[in-house]
Structure 1
Amino acid sequence: MSFDWKSEQRFFLKGELQSLSSRETSFLINEETTPAKRFNLFLRRRLMFQKNQQSKDSIFFRDGIRQIDFVLSYADDIKKDAELKAERRKEFEKNLRKTGLELEIEDKRDSEDGRTYFVKIHAPWEVLVTYAEVLGIKMPIKESDIPRPKQTPMSYVLGPVSLPTSVKYPHPEYFTAQFSRHRQELFLIEDQATFFPSSSRNRIVYYILSRCPFGIEDGKKRFGIERLLNSNTYSSAYPLHDGQYWKPSEPPNPTNERYILHQNWARFSYFYKEQPLDLIKNYYGEKIGIYFVFLGFYTEMLSFAAVVGLACFIYGLLSMEDNTSSTEICDPEIGGQMIMCPLCDQVCDYWRLNSTCLASKFSHLFDNESTVFFAIFMGIWVTLFLEFWKQRQARLEYEWDLVDFEEEQQQLQLRPEFEAMCKHRKLNPVTKEMEPYMPLYARIPWYFLSGATVTLWMSLVVTSMVAVIVYRLSVFATLASFMESDASLKQVKSFLTPQITTSLTGSCLNFIVILILNFFYEKISAWITKMEIPRTYQEYESSLTLKMFLFQFVNFYSSCFYVAFFKGKFVGYPGKYTYLFDEWRSEECDPGGCLIELTTQLTIIMTGKQIFGNIKEAIYPLALNWWRRRKARTNSEKLYSRWEQDHDLESFGPLGLFYEYLETVIQFGFVTLFVASFPLAPLLALINNIVEIRVDAWKLTTQYRRTVASKAHSIGVWQDILYGMAVLSVATNAFIVAFTSDIIPRLVYYYAYSTNATQPMKGYVNNSLSVFLIADFPNHTAPSEKRDFITCRYRDYRYPPDDENKYFHNMQFWHVLAAKMTFIIVMEHVVFLVKFLLAWMIPDVPKDVVERIKREKLMTIKILHDFELNKLKENLGINSNEFAKHVMIEENKAQLAKSTI
């Protein structure tokens, strides 16, 4: 079989291939050696299997020997461009054969739906070894002598969560080197059919598909399977699953890794088990593998935060009855005698403080002394999480041969849409080739459109939040007019006060609005990103990440920021309230503060998002696959082959992993940004992630086509986003404790204003409420019904009406404000100092990993050196003694030259 290197340059991208060295140039078959001739020669040695004798689970060509590495599908098209598409397919498949790939086409009459053609692709050994060298794929050269990490002393405790060793470590560890077809004897090749794993095979085939030309149109060379998919020339392109997920494969099919993954990973009954990470990486590739490593590591770290948060909640629960503030509020002789000023104008009546008894007790669950401790703890926890993740990532790079990782070339490949829109070409200074180029002036209008769209949608989020605030104000006034009649002045202890009822309904409405806006923005953000015409897939994903994260950050967190930092802070005081749009009075907090409302808001949005997300992820692909199968069963007597079964599954898509990361990062924000108000947030996130891992595993294994394997050595831009949110979380939690919680005013009273030595907190409620003279109410704000009392109380620190500085802030207000600012400064500096110390003390790469990397590099160099010396010895044809003398002479010459220098 001969090679024609010029034909390869003729049929592949000129600029792409000319940048490759001679060793990277792909293997091609002469045009004279047609596929038919090669197939006939093959049949002389192999038995040809008939279609009706073929198993529906077979992943081989009809001969039962050549494995299917990739599948393309298309259906008859009766539209006007049908001939053009047929010509493109013909040219594309012709060029694929010229690269050395072998194709087998299944006629539509043999398909179950009766209208779909399937093009099965097999990469022979010569193609695999050529492109393994081009892609720099590392393959084993010797079994590693570095022992795996030893079991910890607590391993017997973790026994129930461990997987069998054969599943956890499906293959031995090897010393590896970049594959070279000229050094094939160096590598551990026992069987050519199984030497390259299926993930590497489909990655190689996709590399060829993405660069194979299919013609010249409008004077430009057109190439790549992505362009053909975008134009509907082909309907799908995917690698095959290696078998059914509910049963193991039978010979001659290889080991069914899909079945092993389903049995040990994708079952919900295994929620407590560790993940078979090496098997996930081998089957789906490093990019998907590292997502599950990150999700699993994040879930493990959440378990520590969940335990501490649960302990803080239990502390609040046990100390609820001993809380002096809620005791005074509930006491008929104290809270029952305090008449509070109306919470809205005219329609709202006066009310007694003890009507919020149950709400004040519930508030103590999350607003107690442990709040400060937990806020500081989470600031340290997030630092430990990110630093230990660096170490986990470094260990993963070593274990998965990603130490010398280079960015995937398909990520750096030009997008077909970019080439289609480009009317200019520019000389690439590296390749010295003319490449598509879009000048800045052509991009500026699209950038303006993109920026305006993002700004518009963020404005919609703010507008919807204001609309929800208006709803809350209106509903509160309505409820108050019904619920706060004369009964409000009696000894009422109801939990469903107008404030709580309005807060619950408003939070639920806000969550529904968030989901609606999020649904539409996902579509719009993808559209405007395409309109920006990014040059590469990497640029496209980065641009989309920025838009989606900014929007979801504002969408999910804006209402929490409002409750935490704005609600109740600019209310004014009776007789001089502030108004929204000159019509609605600004919302006030509960006498115990706004923390309980922030907790309610956070719980509803976080829990609702997690439940909705898991249900959507499980039901959406299941329903689509059921409907697709139902429509496809038109020729059920036909063989429902392996490629047809996978064709009817949902496609994971190039952005499938993007949305998984986005969901996790948004949850990370809930856990860190507002955790001081809700210590149970880590526990809820932990429960969700345990379910999330199994849902993602189940849908990938059973409901989605197999993805093309691709490499990645980190979680990419998401790591920078996590660092930014970690820094922001320190500030938000400090402000929540200072301004949203009631802990600082209580401490100021305890140390500076309490006059009771035995019960220092006695009298705090009375101290925290100011007095207002009812006669000072303007006519348009006072309740319509006259009362026989002359004063009412409101939450603030102001002088009483009989003081010369009446209604001005008193000295205690400034003391409390100074204490709040001092707490923020001290907490931020303490947490940041600990963060920097931990970051300095914890190395990014563990010491044992550094030693393992050095050991592997040394052994790899030694093995390559010995291999080259033995090869040189064979070429020289001399005996061992002469060869040793020859080597010694050369080494002496080198040492002499070194000493002379």
Structure 2
Amino acid sequence: EANLEKVGLELETEDKSVKDGKTYFVKVHAPWEVLATYADVLKIKVPFKVNDIPDNSEMPMNWLSTPFRLPEHIMHPEPDFFTAPFNKSKSDFFLIDDKDTFFPPSTRNRIVYYILSRCSYFRDECADKDKKGIKRLLNNGTYTAAFPLHDVSLFQSRDDKCESERYNLYKHWARFLCFFKEQPLNLVRKYYGEKIGIYFAWLGFYTEMLLFAAVVGTICFIYGFLTYDDNQWSKEICSEKIGGNIVMCPLCDKKCSYWKLNTTCNSSWQSHLFDNVGTVFFAIFMGIWVTLFLEFWKRRQARLEYEWDLVDFEEEQQQLQLRPEYETKCTNRKMNRITQEMEPYLPITSKCARTCLSGATVLLWISLIIACIIGVIAYRLAVYAAFASIMKDSPTTHLEVVGPYITPQLATSVTASCINFVIIMILNLMYERVAIWITDMEIPKTHLEYENKLTVKMFLFQFVNYYSSCFYVAFFKGKFVGYPGKYAYMFGWSTLRNEECDPGGCLIELTTQLVIVMTGKQVWGNIQEALVPKMFPHFHHVGESLYSRWEQDHDLQGFGQLGLFYEYLEMVIQFGFITLFVASFPLAPLLALINNIIEVRVDAWKLTTQFRRPVAAKAHSIGAWEEILNGMAVLSVVTNAFIVAFTSDMIPRLVYMYAYQPEMNMKGYINNSLSVFNISDFLTDSRPDDDENPAWFNSSITTCRYRDYRYPPGHEKQYSHTMQFWHILAAKLAFIIIMEHVVFVVKFLVAWLIPDVPSDVRARVKRERYLVQEYLHNYEVEKLKIQLSQNSNECNCTPMIYPSLSKHEVLSECL
């Protein structure tokens, strides 16, 4: 604390707090001289001239957005300035009206924390250069916390109706009733800093873009609903004359009986809501939408970089600042080429060993996730037989409370999806700790490196955890089942026969899986974020006059170094759901939109009421998450193409209609898509038990049908694939190639046509750089003229003029 005072900070120590009688509070104040000095050191940009470029960004029909805008007295719009790095020796060059408000709150607390993180805690500062920084004192328990104070008590603001930045943010940003209003991003940036501001800017932009995807997805769903009566294949399935007379082969060994096709009537109708021509259109649309979203975000980000003075910002300071844990654990020293000082380092052998151990641990835990998914698959295979045996007397059981008919397929799918969701949430708690432990073991050098390493590990865990079950249903279920008489078994175990898709297809099951996991995650997340803090409030309004503001802030939750990490992770996982598997569920963007409208306000409410004010930090982008989003955007084109081709029944129907139906309609499609099997060819282990067969089954039934394209018994190529199978496979592969190329060409064309930086922003940046040079040159010239005039008066000498020399040379000669 003595060293802090030497630097120029002012300290004020409070008595032991009224609340617990143990905690001392040391309040740190930064006077103008300190702020100016370190603003110069940190090269913080400040205004020096009002922007003279006309603003042509107003939209022609801007009045349409008026209901969604906040009033000017809340937004506090400031004139647009040209800015330059602050220089204390040239303070009169900048537009300083009031020194108390010249630096915004976020800049002031960033400067103070910069000093705290570098100040030595030994009286002899040269004794040990490693003994410095508030972070190490926090780690060893000397101090319990270090945080900027909120500008005012929130409760006091409510009662006194006094104007403050925190209260304005709470009233006009954090309340849910403001969900349709714009976010006061400039106020957020001014109060919390650019890093938090850029997150809410991205979240708001993502939510706005979701509106277009939600509208198109809803239209596609409505199209499926309106074309209900045109669903010829479902009519055939439900028909007593067609579906009622088709006897299907058992879906499991021993315990499953023969069944009639019309028992899947309801699932066939439900599948049509999501498996129709609109599915193909929406899959292509989302491939283009995700490109537009990423490209327009780059433009929005570039505009924010300019407006928030982040154009030339680089994270060198974050890269050079060592983590206290790194300094503590690394005992070896070497010369830093940049700072030319001795600093701790991790030997290459230790680094390689730690990296290999980390990689092995990651693979081990990913294998555990896959093992859990295999366990759920085994559950599905085992339980399906049980459900089929229970429902053997009535293939469809009507539940009056639920409404729809419950089949063994649906009961298995729903229960397996719920169990899978519970496993996902349990594994999440474990993986979070594992990922942090592995990253700590690697001993990253800087906070930026730590965050990037943790980002990769957590995203990898979450990706496998959340999406693996959807990948199974989309790309593996029903694809490797074999055929009656030669079924495929999981790991060769005779009790676990691979699952089949019912005649309605596997798409409806993928939809069920996606809805349960995505909706469950969002509901659980909102409960954690919104309801839990309300159930356990940190302090009460009672006796606030005896409860100081710093005590109130101390009792709030700490935002932490990784506060935004979990918010980004939650949204990126959601982004995967609405892009990777959106072809199976067009309403996914609508659910995401509703969730995000709530998410913006919940996050704002937490930040203003539940958390201490975080130390402001600069960031010019969303960091590593941008590359992850780009990767998922490319992967989504591939997954949706495969879902339409292999999970949906769209391609087989189109091939049948255009190649095998002279009348170009769907009549007879069901009969055409089912192959025939001779019951006498069943193996003993696959044949249903006699007591499992339904009452209508008798000896006159000699064949059963199954979902495939194979030659019938008695044919010279019996049970081998027909030519139609190969035609359909070729059509599927052709569709994948065509869809991927079309979408990728459009993606690259859109990315090429839309520049990352708007032209007006590019012009403003160039204009600002030109003016900085011009104004500084004129400023130096005027300053030197004054010095020359003073020197000539003192020395009684006359400066010589050399017309052939440049301005700088003339001034040099005069000096």
Task: State the TM-score, normalized to the length of structure 2.
Answer: 0.93
Task: Indicate the larger mover: 373-382 or 430-439.
Answer: 430-439
Aligned position for 1:507: 417
Given that 2:351 and 2:442 are in contact with CA atoms closer than 8 Å, whether structure 1 keeps it comes out as yes
* Post-superposition offset of 1:524: 1.5
Aligned position for 1:747: 654
Aligned position for 1:672: 579
* Post-superposition offset of 1:255: 5.5
Given that 1:408 and 1:711 are in contact with CA atoms closer than 8 Å, whether structure 2 keeps it comes out as no
Given that 1:242 and 1:258 are in contact with CA atoms closer than 8 Å, whether structure 2 keeps it comes out as yes
* Post-superposition offset of 1:441: 1.2
SS of 2:256's partner is coil
SS of 1:584's partner is coil
* Post-superposition offset of 1:431: 2.7
Aligned position for 1:768: 673
Q: Say whether 1:244 aligns with 2:153.
A: yes
1:875 to 770, 783, 787: 787
RMSD: 2.5
* Post-superposition offset of 1:858: 2.5
Aligned position for 2:685: 780
SS of 1:836's partner is helix
* Post-superposition offset of 1:291: 0.5
* Post-superposition offset of 1:157: 1.7
Question: Structure 1 residues 368 and 151 mapped into 2: Cα distance closer, same or farther (>3 Å)?
Answer: same
Question: Structure 1 residues 680 and 210 mapped into 2: Cα distance closer, same or farther (>3 Å)?
Answer: same
Q: Say whether 1:230 aligns with 2:139.
A: yes
Task: State the TM-score, normalized to the length of structure 1.
Answer: 0.84
2: distance between equivalents of 1:754 and 1:887? 101
Given that 2:228 and 2:272 are in contact with CA atoms closer than 8 Å, whether structure 1 keeps it comes out as yes
Aligned position for 1:161: 68
1:591 to 465, 478, 503: 503
Q: Deviations over 1:328-380 (max 9, x none)?
A: 11111111111111111111111111111111000000000111111111111
Given that 1:261 and 1:701 are in contact with CA atoms closer than 8 Å, whether structure 2 keeps it comes out as yes
Aligned position for 1:287: 195
Aligned position for 1:556: 466
1:109-128 equivalent positions in 2, closer than 5 A: 110-128=17-35
Question: Structure 1 residues 219 and 237 mapped into 2: Cα distance closer, same or farther (>3 Å)?
Answer: closer
Q: Percent identity?
A: 63
Aligned position for 1:431: 339
1:370-389 equivalent positions in 2, closer than 5 A: 370-389=278-297
* Post-superposition offset of 1:502: 0.9
2: distance between equivalents of 1:399 and 1:166? 20
Task: Indicate the larger mover: 663-672 or 477-486.
Answer: 477-486
Aligned position for 2:566: 659
2: distance between equivalents of 1:848 and 1:305? 28
* Post-superposition offset of 1:465: 0.6
Number of positions where the alignment pairs a residue of Structure 1 with one of Structure 2: 789
Aligned position for 1:256: 164
* Post-superposition offset of 1:449: 2.6
Given that 1:242 and 1:254 are in contact with CA atoms closer than 8 Å, whether structure 2 keeps it comes out as no
Given that 1:350 and 1:489 are in contact with CA atoms closer than 8 Å, whether structure 2 keeps it comes out as no
* Post-superposition offset of 1:489: 13
Q: Say whether 1:320 aligns with 2:232.
A: no
Matched letter for residue 657 of structure 1: L
1:543 to 422, 438, 453: 453
SS of 1:299's partner is helix
SS of 2:82's partner is strand
Matched letter for residue 771 of structure 1: V
Q: Say whether 1:734 aligns with 2:734.
A: no
Matched letter for residue 439 of structure 2: T
Q: Say whether 1:688 aligns with 2:586.
A: no
1:318-717 equivalent positions in 2, closer than 5 A: 318-407=226-315, 409-485=317-393, 495-581=405-491, 582=493, 583-624=495-536, 626=537, 628-629=538-539, 639-717=546-624
Given that 1:249 and 1:256 are in contact with CA atoms closer than 8 Å, whether structure 2 keeps it comes out as no
Given that 1:105 and 1:117 are in contact with CA atoms closer than 8 Å, whether structure 2 keeps it comes out as yes
* Post-superposition offset of 1:245: 3.1
Given that 2:677 and 2:705 are in contact with CA atoms closer than 8 Å, whether structure 1 keeps it comes out as yes
2: distance between equivalents of 1:868 and 1:127? 25
Question: Structure 1 residues 705 and 894 mapped into 2: Cα distance closer, same or farther (>3 Å)?
Answer: same
1: distance between equivalents of 2:235 and 2:799? 91
Given that 1:380 and 1:834 are in contact with CA atoms closer than 8 Å, whether structure 2 keeps it comes out as yes
Given that 1:351 and 1:488 are in contact with CA atoms closer than 8 Å, whether structure 2 keeps it comes out as no
Matched letter for residue 523 of structure 1: R
Matched letter for residue 161 of structure 1: F
Question: Structure 1 residues 207 and 621 mapped into 2: Cα distance closer, same or farther (>3 Å)?
Answer: farther
Aligned position for 1:131: 38
* Post-superposition offset of 1:184: 1.1
Question: Structure 1 residues 120 and 408 mapped into 2: Cα distance closer, same or farther (>3 Å)?
Answer: farther
Aligned position for 1:28: none
Q: Say whether 1:847 aligns with 2:752.
A: no
1: distance between equivalents of 2:802 and 2:721? 91
* Post-superposition offset of 1:894: 3.0
1: distance between equivalents of 2:456 and 2:310? 26
Task: Indicate the larger mover: 110-119 or 830-839.
Answer: 110-119
Q: Deviations over 1:149-192 (max 9, x none)?
A: 54322222211111112333542221211111101111222222
Question: Structure 1 residues 795 and 711 mapped into 2: Cα distance closer, same or farther (>3 Å)?
Answer: same
Aligned position for 1:33: none
Question: Structure 1 residues 591 and 534 mapped into 2: Cα distance closer, same or farther (>3 Å)?
Answer: same
Question: Structure 1 residues 538 and 293 mapped into 2: Cα distance closer, same or farther (>3 Å)?
Answer: same
2: distance between equivalents of 1:674 and 1:326? 24
Matched letter for residue 859 of structure 1: L
Question: Structure 1 residues 205 and 891 mapped into 2: Cα distance closer, same or farther (>3 Å)?
Answer: farther
Given that 2:477 and 2:500 are in contact with CA atoms closer than 8 Å, whether structure 1 keeps it comes out as yes
2: distance between equivalents of 1:594 and 1:348? 19
* Post-superposition offset of 1:488: 6.8
- Say which structure, 1 or 2, has more relative contact order (CA 8 Å, 6+ apart): 2
Task: Indicate the larger mover: 867-876 or 273-282.
Answer: 867-876
Matched letter for residue 675 of structure 2: S
2: distance between equivalents of 1:192 and 1:571? 76
1:262-277 equivalent positions in 2, closer than 5 A: 262-277=170-185
* Post-superposition offset of 1:615: 1.4
Matched letter for residue 276 of structure 1: P
Given that 2:391 and 2:397 are in contact with CA atoms closer than 8 Å, whether structure 1 keeps it comes out as no
1: distance between equivalents of 2:96 and 2:605? 34
1: distance between equivalents of 2:352 and 2:215? 51
Aligned position for 2:795: none
Given that 1:412 and 1:538 are in contact with CA atoms closer than 8 Å, whether structure 2 keeps it comes out as no
Q: Deviations over 1:686-727 (max 9, x none)?
A: 111111000000000111010111101111111111111111
SS of 2:527's partner is helix
Q: Deviations over 1:92-122 (max 9, x none)?
A: x1211111111111121x4322111100000
Matched letter for residue 232 of structure 1: G
SS of 1:120's partner is strand
Aligned position for 2:107: 200
